[in-house]
Structure 1
Amino acid sequence: MTLADSTTPDTRDAVANDAAPTFEDGVRQARPMPVSTAEVNQVEPLGPHSLVWKYYGDHRQVLGFQRVAGTENCIEQLAKGVEDHSVIFSDFMGRAERTVPPIMSTVYSAEPHAWGRKVRDFHRNIKGTVDSDGSSYHAMNPELFYWAHATFVDQVIYVADTFIRRLSHEEKAQIFEESKRWYALYGVDDRAEPQTYEEFLTYWDDMLERFVPTKTIMYATGYLRKGLPRPKRVPPAVWSIVSVPVNALVRTLVIGTLPRQMREVCQLEWNDRMQKRFDRMAALIRALNPVINRLPVDKLYTPWAAQAWARTGVDPRRINNGR
């Protein structure tokens, strides 16, 4: 079956004119569009002097966990894929633990091309139907696959700029340019990918306006509305006291990282007072960067990143550290 066989007239016109379809048109094609293995093998992988290497494997990136996971799943088609094909509702932490290693390995391993193809191939059979309108989705559709990648690009830039050190516009643009090589390692058609950092910002803002309260994201953010569940080893009487400041801290630090549109669709309370508190916390964490940066590499970075720094013989604490 040809591409034209599976598209609407409007989409066929866009393809015929060599123009990338809009997100709405493109995602409804619901077709996997991988590129050849030979082409993927020609992609130059990222290395120790890239800003993605410098910041993505830093343990402080965990501060953006809800931002990256949440923004992904506020887009209906992606969230439906998670709902239909993952164990998020029965093994939330397990899913996260299985997701991170392959993506980290695509960036940091000695075999990034092979890991990129593995990540792509994990998605080959993830397809189904969207509840709201009965349209089809496929996880390897370029519009959908790129959106998932875009959330990681945003995470690297946002967390580094918010919790590590302020980045210049040029550094943010460099991270975006490096992210194009990162994405190419997955071997999926790049028609949905912006070409410049400025285009990426426009793309990001447009996607935020498409957010909806999916079943997946409402479930994943329940702890921010209801409070953290009591740990089994903590007595109820103790938790009733301890949970008050703990939940206040978690809500401020986590909800503070989320885009406004996500807070709204997830019904997460936020106000100016909480924003000021978050800004103070972020500034304090940034101020500690010179101290944190002196930690041993295997304490500062995830295992995948630490192993990569050791393999290349580069000390990341001495490069791209700003002022």
Structure 2
Amino acid sequence: MPPRRSVMRIAFEGGTAGLLQTMHPAIGQGLINHSDFFDDPVDRVFRSLPGILGAVYSPQAGKTGMQVRDFHHEIKGTLPSGRRYHALEPATFWWAHATFQRMVDRLALYWDRHRLTEDEDARLYAEGCEWYRRYGVSTAPMPPDRAAFDREFMRVCDAVLEPNPASDHLIAVINRSAVPDMSTSPYLPSHPRLRPVADTLLPTLPVRAALAPPMRLVFFGGLPPSVRDRFGIRWTRSDQAGYRSIRHGIRLTWRYVPRPLQWHQTAAEGWHDRLGRLPRFGS
């Protein structure tokens, strides 16, 4: 990915990507059958980040991508409809990646001061396709260009996604008056210097309650409106205005965040291996 996309900003779109994944019948059922999703839906996201980012930034990115793929070999079973599912079925695996592709696209579009040129946008999509190839899964479902990707993404949203126990549970968690205690996850993507602060503050109810309203706006605000409607997610003009305000604030202030705090450890290690330092950017 271009260095301008400092990785910790994925927190503002990653939750939406995870929610879109749970809305897919096969992925939702896989979470029900093969994970502790109902006990700790947040940890699942944090636990996945090193491998997913490693497929982009690691010097052994191809090997890391195939390790991620191999974690999914035994995730299979039967849907309530009676149809069999498997996490490595190409269209299902592509959808999980497509939510990450869209995550990166939206970071560039809504959370960064730099406006992509047509060439940069095409390059961003091409790099996302290379990211997907590193998993060693069939590329048959992968759209050839940006326009085709946008069409296929919305087709899946409108024709494939459907409410299921996993998506219902995650939506209920997002609507709670306090967020889960994220400090309990050993995979919490916090800089080592900030981890003591996170361990002190995140378990407290006032902090978790204060984080709930903006988290709800960020998770639900990134969804296509048609998906919010189909899944019965309440979204008002006030919500939209609040969501836009959060995006505007991040666009204006992110450049003042110290560079070491802008990068997940996996990405930082990759850049140090390649450049010997973290990249500079002008956002």
Q: Which category describes the TM-score, using the shorter chain as reference length?
A: 0.7 to 0.9
- Aligned counterpart for 2:217 among listed residues 249, 252, 255: 252
Match of 1:303 in 2: 265
- Aligned counterpart for 2:78 among listed residues 114, 129, 134: 129
1:164 match: secondary structure: coil
Quote the offset at 1:126 in angstroms.
Answer: 1.1
Match of 1:17 in 2: none
* Structure 2 residue runs without a partner (length 5+): 182-201
Residue type at the aligned position of 2:69: R
Quote the offset at 1:86 in angstroms.
Answer: 1.3
Match of 1:276 in 2: 241
1:288 match: secondary structure: helix
Match of 2:103 in 1: 155
1:74 aligns with 2:36: no
Match of 2:178 in 1: 228
Quote the offset at 1:314 in angstroms.
Answer: 5.9
Match of 1:4 in 2: none
The answer (yes or no) to whether the contact 2:179–2:208 under 8 Å persists in 1 is no
TM-score by length of 2: 0.83
Residue type at the aligned position of 2:37: I
Residue type at the aligned position of 1:193: M
CA gap of 1:188–1:258, structure 2 versus 1, over 3 A, is: same
Match of 1:15 in 2: none
Between Structure 1 and Structure 2, how many residues are aligned?
A: 261
| 1:2-41 paired onto structure 2 within 5 Å | none
Quote the offset at 1:234 in angstroms.
Answer: 4.6
Deviations 1:275-322, CA, capped at 9 Å, x for gaps: 122212211211224433xx23x2211111111111112655435x46
1:106 aligns with 2:55: yes
Quote the offset at 1:152 in angstroms.
Answer: 0.7
Q: What is the alpha-carbon distance in structure 2 between the residues aligned to residue 242 and residue 156 of structure 1?
A: 27
* Structure 1 residue runs without a partner (length 5+): 1-49
1:180 aligns with 2:129: yes
Larger Rg: 1
Query: Cα RMSD over matched residues?
Result: 2.5
Structure with larger RCO (C-alpha < 8 A, sep 6+) = 2
TM-score by length of 1: 0.73
CA gap of 1:189–1:286, structure 2 versus 1, over 3 A, is: same
Quote the offset at 1:230 in angstroms.
Answer: 8.0
Deviations 1:159-191, CA, capped at 9 Å, x for gaps: 232112343443232111111111111111111
The sequence identity of aligned pairs, in percent, is: 25
- Aligned counterpart for 2:163 among listed residues 197, 213, 238: 213
Q: What is the alpha-carbon distance in structure 2 between the residues aligned to residue 158 and residue 115 of structure 1?
A: 25
CA gap of 1:97–1:136, structure 2 versus 1, over 3 A, is: same
The answer (yes or no) to whether the contact 1:116–1:185 under 8 Å persists in 2 is yes
| 1:53-64 paired onto structure 2 within 5 Å | 54-55=4-5, 58-64=7-13
The answer (yes or no) to whether the contact 2:66–2:134 under 8 Å persists in 1 is yes
Residue type at the aligned position of 2:85: Y
Q: What is the alpha-carbon distance in structure 2 between the residues aligned to residue 170 and residue 227 of structure 1?
A: 43
Residue type at the aligned position of 2:173: Y
Q: What is the alpha-carbon distance in structure 2 between the residues aligned to residue 179 and residue 60 of structure 1?
A: 17
The answer (yes or no) to whether the contact 1:163–1:285 under 8 Å persists in 2 is yes
